[in-house]
Structure 1
Amino acid sequence: MKLRLAALLAAAALALLPTTASADVTYPDPLPLTGQQIIHDPTVHQLKNGQYVAYSTGGIIGARLSPNLRDWTDAGNAFTTPPSWWYDYNSTADPWAPDLSYRDGRYWLYYAVSSWGTNHSAIGVATSASGLPGTWTDHGKAFSSEKTDTWNAIDPAVIRADGKLWMAFGSYWTGIRMVQLDPKTGKAIPGAEVRHLATRPDAPYAVEGASIVHHGAYYYLFASYDACCQGVNSTYKIRVGRSTSVTGPYTDSTGKQMLDGGGDLFLASHGRYIGPGGESVFRTHGKDWLAYHYYDANDNGTPKLGLNELHWKAGWPELT
């Protein structure tokens, strides 16, 4: 499995963020699963045929299918062959961190390709009528970044808000950003402002893997902090903030902005479940769920799928 930028920087001294959530938190274990559980950066969705699909980093965007969220089988890859333009970003045409959504009668799959250790990166977009692996039509780049930019175009997360389409993205290189998309093409509007949502004061600004969900009066920004991809030595964790506007500013429960290093600690290592992150939020049967990967300390640090139901209490999310 391809390690992402965080693996290159894992040896860096990462200062701890200021405490913004209550201490001595007890984290719930993920839902017990069977079958093919190995996964990284999952995005989960219930398809029109009733099945659940999970797409993930690794190979040509790996796919898993389940009838019930508990029992998962390997379903191959989203694409049968890599689109040729992927090779402009790495020699193995290896995509990362997909994001799956449904709108206007089609499924939309966003994903990232990048040159190792740089922000020469691009986010691609594909569509499918069914959302099943092997049915995707690629439409090329939706957005890109170069070495002259102060952001990194990976880890897409798309959300509709106030009649507009937005994409959060970013990894290191000053953290989480956002750009507006053209809903017809699914691609960034030419010349659109690149907004800033979250970072931290300590280099190398280890914030990535954004996911945004709307609930009640607020938009909630979840993001992965610190180092992934190190098995049982991973320090990944998930933090969250909220805003009344999809474009921010996002603040934690103390009022500290995520642009100033804020963010309530939401999920961290506990027991055998090491380094949870690469998260996404999905809704099914009237319930919200958090999907993420963790490294199983009881299985040599193998990355596996974590699923927890997401509840809301006093305007903030909590896991069961």
Structure 2
Amino acid sequence: MHRSSLLLLLITALVALVGARPASQSLTPTPPQVYETTDKIPLPNVGNLQVHDPNVVYWDDHYYLFKGGWHIPYYKASNMSGPWTQVGTVFDVESVIHQGNRSRPWAPTTIERNGTFYCFYTLSTHGSRNSAIGVATSSKLDGSPWTDHGALIRTGQGNGSDVWPFTISNAIDASFIRDNATGKAYLNYGSYWQDIWQVPLSDDWLSIETPAKPDAVQLSFIPHETFRPEEGSWMSYHDGYYYVWFSHGKCCSFDVRGFPARGDEYNIRVGRSRAVRGPFVDRDGKLLLDGGGTIVYASNHGAVYAPGGLGVMPGNSSTPDILYYHYLNTSIGFADEQAQLGYNYLKYDNGWPVVLDGIDIKSSAAIISRSPGWWSLMILSVA
């Protein structure tokens, strides 16, 4: 065979071989965009800290941020945009609760009363109801040791897990509210399974009231569905209303498990009531117990993905309320440990919270690439 003919056959075979590559190795993929590109939702103010499930306390003219992680690390800054300096950790060793991941608690919520700080924390594992909410206390935010008081509630296994509603709910994502009229303290908690609940705390805030028969109320629920993705609740008070905030949708491990359908990722929703125990309704008047919830913040601009794990910091005469949360910056990555701190100031429209514009993130365009086993997004600046 002539050499040129042989070369032509070889090139043809190679082209055919490339054309037969498995789809997972395609060089020119055309998958649908998985994140929201709307510009109707404002960009965040950038917190300049990698964080998951942030909790912020303003104390002694500084912001203190607690986050889920090894022994619950916490940080200090003079403003919400940082720079943040790590102060220490709540724990030096594992939690005294023998449940879940004892070295890496989730979703801390810290409250101050009369010079004592109370840190409520979660021990669990993904996809499990074998969970517990504990509490630790300290009189200082300077890295000094905290006292671990153990579990307030357990689900799945352990003491008290056989008491309703702990038999059907999931003891994660604790948050805190006091009745504005009486000062009574309540613990809000819950996730998926039977969604979000509230129980009264004892006067010392170190246990729940009447643990053998708790006066529990359900705050949110998605009926007629087996998948009920509501968690991470927070309760705030403003001008006569109590607001239940929560994260709705799929949260984490996008880089491993893949992306949910567009719009099914984390977003932040709210309902309100004149009473701390509800019932709560959304802006359309739908009960949160009937699956209601008004979206306040969600993926936007192709730069912010899956915001959630939220809290609300009350404002004062000169500063509005602040909604803060974690989100995935699509130019950085989609791994859990790449989540970023974001925040927006709030205004109220007929009593309903609305986020204000944040600091602009550089305009970006996205090219979606495909690598074996999962989707990744590469963001190219067009500014």
TM tier, shorter chain?
A: 0.7 to 0.9
Matching residue of 2:86: 75
Matching residue of 2:207: 187
Matches of 2:315 and 2:241, distance apart in 1: 20
- What amino acid is the match of 1:41? D
- What amino acid is the match of 2:93? P
So what's the TM-score if we normalise by structure 2?
Answer: 0.72
Matching residue of 1:243: 273
Structure 2 residue corresponding to 1:111, chosen from 108, 121, 127? 121
For the 8 Å contact 1:60–1:77, the answer to whether it is kept is no
How many angstroms does 1:283 deviate by?
2.3
How many angstroms does 1:157 deviate by?
0.6
**How large is the RMSD of aligned CA atoms in angstroms?**
2.0
User: Partner of 1:259: helix, strand, or coil?
Assistant: helix
Matches of 2:308 and 2:101, distance apart in 1: 27
**What residue ranges of structure 2 are gaps of 5+ in the alignment?**
1-37, 357-383
User: Partner of 1:265: helix, strand, or coil?
Assistant: strand
Matching residue of 2:173: 155
For the 8 Å contact 1:157–1:167, the answer to whether it is kept is yes
Matching residue of 1:224: 247
**Structure with greater Cα Rg:** 2
Matches of 1:199 and 1:77, distance apart in 2: 37
For the 8 Å contact 2:77–2:85, the answer to whether it is kept is no
Matches of 2:315 and 2:146, distance apart in 1: 23
So what's the TM-score if we normalise by structure 1?
Answer: 0.86
- What amino acid is the match of 1:141? A
User: Partner of 1:72: helix, strand, or coil?
Assistant: coil
Matching residue of 1:32: 46
**What residue ranges of structure 1 are gaps of 5+ in the alignment?**
1-23
For the 8 Å contact 1:241–1:258, the answer to whether it is kept is yes
Matching residue of 2:307: 276
Question: Are residue 203 (structure 1) and residue 216 (structure 2) matched?
Answer: no
For the 8 Å contact 1:64–1:72, the answer to whether it is kept is no
Matches of 1:83 and 1:92, distance apart in 2: 5
Structure 1 residue corresponding to 2:65, chosen from 29, 54, 67? 54
Matches of 2:236 and 2:86, distance apart in 1: 27
Matching residue of 1:291: 324
User: Partner of 1:122: helix, strand, or coil?
Assistant: strand
For the 8 Å contact 1:89–1:115, the answer to whether it is kept is no
Question: Are residue 262 (structure 1) and residue 285 (structure 2) matched?
Answer: no
- What amino acid is the match of 1:276? P
Percent identity over paired residues: 33
How many angstroms does 1:183 deviate by?
2.4
For the 8 Å contact 2:74–2:90, the answer to whether it is kept is no
Matches of 2:349 and 2:148, distance apart in 1: 40
Q: Deviations over 1:277-320 (max 9, x none)?
A: 00011125543111100011000122000111122121111111
Structure 1 residue corresponding to 2:341, chosen from 297, 305, 312? 305
How many angstroms does 1:259 deviate by?
0.5
- What amino acid is the match of 1:277? G
Matching residue of 2:112: 102
User: Partner of 2:45: helix, strand, or coil?
Assistant: coil
| More off after superposition, 149-158 vs 25-34 | 25-34
With over 3 angstroms needed to count, the CA separation of the structure-2 counterparts of 1:285 and 1:248, relative to structure 1, is closer
Matching residue of 1:14: none
How many angstroms does 1:138 deviate by?
1.5
With over 3 angstroms needed to count, the CA separation of the structure-2 counterparts of 1:164 and 1:197, relative to structure 1, is same
For the 8 Å contact 2:95–2:102, the answer to whether it is kept is no
- What amino acid is the match of 1:281? V
With over 3 angstroms needed to count, the CA separation of the structure-2 counterparts of 1:119 and 1:133, relative to structure 1, is farther
How many angstroms does 1:265 deviate by?
1.0
